Amino acid sequence: MKKVMKGLSNAITVLLFLLVILMAVLVISSKASGGEPQILGYQLKNVLSGSMEPTFKTGSIIAVKPAGDKTRFQKNDVITYMEDEQKIVTHRVIDVVKRGDHVMYQTKGDNNEHPDSNLILSENVVGEYTGFSIPYIGYFIDFAKSKAGTAALLIGPGVLLLLYSAISIFKALKEIEHATKRRDENQGPEKTA
């Protein structure tokens, strides 16, 4: 039983330590990129509206790989593009329009009735949706980007690790105390001559 508890204790310690490292990487990556975090060359984008449901839901994060050749996209590809200087959108290509040397895309959200009002210049394409999404994590990343979230995610797991360590030390001291007490009881009182 003691071996199981020790193994569980070690597993929790490692898990909390890895959580601290993961949170630090996410927060630092998010701050360094000035926006969404990047992992292994993929950008993680928050889904802020339901325009692409059921493909991905509001509050999800999606993995977007950099566009590369921005003129290569075809009908049914899901692209991420700059709608204006402040807004990034991920919608499906429903038509490719070529005018001279320019390639433009007509896009539409899967959950929208009508296509987007403006054609998207290929130069404004940021990336392509990879098909990878995790529901509800986008809410967490939005929180992580705030000042309070950054503090909580960097300090919180560290505090949990310290509390867990304090509890482990307290339990170890209690065990030592009980072992000492049992040893003293087994030896019995000393006899005097």
Q: Enumerate the active-site residues.
A: 49
- Other Cβ atoms within 10 Å of 186 Cβ, number: 7
Distance CA 28, CA 150 (A): 9
Residues 6+ apart with CB under 8 A from 61: 44, 45, 46, 47, 133, 134, 137, 138, 141
